[in-house]
Every structure is written in structure tokens, then in C-alpha cells.
Amino acid sequence: MSRQAGQCYYCPAFLLITDVALMIEHISATNFTDCQRLFHGRGHAYKNLSHVNVDWLSPVILITLYQAVDEVWLLTQAKALQRLISECLSVQVQRRYEKFSPTQVLLGDSIDHTVVIENYLSYHIELGKAQNSGLFLDMSNGRTWVKEYAQDKNVLNLFAYTCAFSVAATAGGASKVVNIDLSKASLSKGRENHQLNKLAKKDGKKILFEGLDIFKSNSRIKKYGKYDLLICDPPSFQKGSVDIERDYAKIIRRIPQWMNTGAKLMLCLNSPDLDEQFLKEEVVRECPDCVFEQQLANPEVFKEVHKGKGLKVLIFSYQPDVSLSI
């Protein structure tokens, strides 16, 4: 096949440049008060764009790339995104395909910290310091559910990370929240998130931060129970500490030791290789007194061509006198 100047029929970069407008056209958001995913390519719903996500972390637009792209395409995309949101002060790109996932400013100011709003609550965001910024945007519906349910509940938050669920639960009126995570640095950020929302000592409510290995700290976890709400959002795999396909059962079988009768369980699964049926079957096997109630929908922007590949958030209730059948 002949080639003409400026054309490359087999070059991925050429295909990407032609898809710039398509990507912008698929961004339907018009209200930018809250932080949010603007474009979700990783769900494979958009041709030639499965390697890119775009987030709004006011005042920063963050483009996350999972493979190398043509730099002309990238700059063209950044300019189009900047025009989309008048409040944008910085467009940055994180290159997940490179070692340490470096972040680079493409347009505007160099901003490495911001505070974002979601559902009237505020969260610290760090840019360029780690692979994750401090808040998982696909979990926004889960945080809303927790905020609405948590009134007067004793809450156990496992794999708490920066304690966004705890912020939502405390704002929703939880009587106590126990945050467990192996990373004390993440829990420190969690404290800052509570302070940011003036929740650190609200109305005498207890908010605890425990830097523990969940799988080796059963007696410590039991000490603060029993609980009315369990939130479990584990990483799919963390070298040396978590392999969720192997380890979720260890958590589920402890539910009778931790939870009050009638307690709600929010069990989350992030692995693209495990669907919701895996989690349901684990519950049936390890704690058959748990009753499946519903699966929370992900935010609409997180479109997935292949069912079960994205985030799964399942709600169960612990009913020792009720048999579970799925």
C-alpha cells in the first residue's frame, strides 16, 4: 500500500488523532462542582480509546494513559479538554505504562495537591506522588449509599485507604467508625480528610484509625465490635499481603464473629478477572447466613462492554436464622 505525506494507514497514532473529537463528544457531564470521571476508556466501550481515562479533580483535569500515544494527539486532546471546563487550571497526564507511573503537566499550572468535593464532602487529592490520587471515583455511589445508611451504626471499614468511606459514614451519623488498613500513611491521610470536613470529633462520635494487617488482627477487630455495617473494599492483589481470590474467604468466614444480627455488608470486588458470582459463591460457602440484597450500580460514565469486568459492589445482610440461596 502506498503512503502519502502526513498519512499512515496502519499507525495507531493516526487513528487516535482522528478519534479526538469522538472522545470529547462522549463526555456528557455539564456540572463540574463534584469530582468525577469524565471519560472511561478502560471499559472498551470506545474504539481505539481503551487505553485512556480522564478525571476531573478540580481544578485539574487528569488524563491517565495505559500505553504510549502520539504526543501530538495528546496535546490536541489536552487543549480540547481544557476548553471544556472553564474552571480548569491544569491539564496533567499520568503514564501508567511507565515505571512509577510518572505525572506530567501538559497545560497550565503545576498543581500537586487539591481538595475536591463529592456529595457535599471534601477530600484531599495528591497528584504525581503515587499511582492513586487518594479517592476512587468509581466508588462514588457506594459512598452515597454508606452516607444514607450509616445513621447510629457502628461501622467497620476494612482496607480503609484514605478513609473516604469513613468520612461518608461519619457525615451520615455513624456512632463509631473503625478504620483498618496496613498503611499508616494512608490512615494519616484519612485523619486529614476527617479534619477537612470538621468530623474529627463531631458530637462525641468515635473515629478510630488502626494500622493493622487485617488477616492477623482478628482479636483487635473484635475488640471494637460488634458492628452494624461492614465495608470491605480490598485490592485485587498486593504483593506480600493480599491475593483476593485466595483471601476473601478469610474475611467472610469471620462475619459471625464481627457483626450484629441484621448487619449490612458492603462487599466490593475490583478484579477484572472475577465477577460478582465469585463473591456470591464465596459468601454461600463461608457464611451462608448472609442474604444477598442488591448490587449497586456504578456511575453511568463507567461503561463496560464486558459484564463483570468493572467494579462490583454487593450488599448483603447478616441474618443467622435465614438460609441463603442464589
> At residue 11, does pLDDT exceed 80?
no
Q: Could you tell me which CATH number the domain at 12-126 has?
A: 3.30.750.80
Q: Give residue 242's pLDDT.
A: 77
User: Which segments of the chain belong to CATH 3.30.750.80?
Assistant: 12-126
Residues present in the chain in total: 326
CB of 310 within 8 A of CB of 280? no
- Among 190, 194, 193, which Cα is nearest to 181's? 190
How many CB atoms within 10 Å of residue 208? 13
Residue 232: partners with Cβ closer than 8 Å, 6 or more residues away = 158, 159, 251, 265, 266, 267, 268
Provide the pLDDT confidence category of residue 24 given band limits of 50, 70 and 90: confident
Provide the pLDDT confidence category of residue 238 given band limits of 50, 70 and 90: low
The Cα–Cα gap between 144 and 172 comes to: 9
CB of 35 within 8 A of CB of 56? yes
The Cα–Cα gap between 314 and 311 comes to: 10
> At residue 4, does pLDDT exceed 70?
no
> At residue 200, does pLDDT exceed 90?
no
Q: Could you tell me which CATH number the domain at 137-318 has?
A: 3.40.50.150
> At residue 22, does pLDDT exceed 70?
no
The Cα–Cα gap between 317 and 319 comes to: 6
Q: Is the dihedral of CA 311, 315, 318, 321 positive or negative?
A: negative
Gyration radius of the chain over CA positions: 21
Bridge partners, residue 55, by sequence:
37, 62
Residue 144 corresponds to which cell in the numbers above?
452515597
283-300 pLDDT per residue, tens: 999 999 999 999 999 999
Q: Where are the beta strands (DSSP E) in 68-226?
A: 90-95, 103-108, 113-118, 121-126, 154-158, 176-181, 206-211
Q: Where are the beta strands (DSSP E) in the chain?
A: 36-40, 52-57, 60-65, 90-95, 103-108, 113-118, 121-126, 154-158, 176-181, 206-211, 227-232, 237-238, 242-243, 259-269, 290-296, 312-318
What's the rounded mean pLDDT across residues 190-211?
86
What's the rounded mean pLDDT across residues 141-145?
98
Q: Is 163 helix (H, G, I), strand (E, B) or coil?
A: coil
CB of 118 within 8 A of CB of 135? yes
111-127 pLDDT per residue, tens: 999 999 999 999 999 99
The Cα–Cα gap between 84 and 34 comes to: 15
User: Which segments of the chain belong to CATH 3.40.50.150?
Assistant: 137-318
Overall pTM > 0.85:
yes
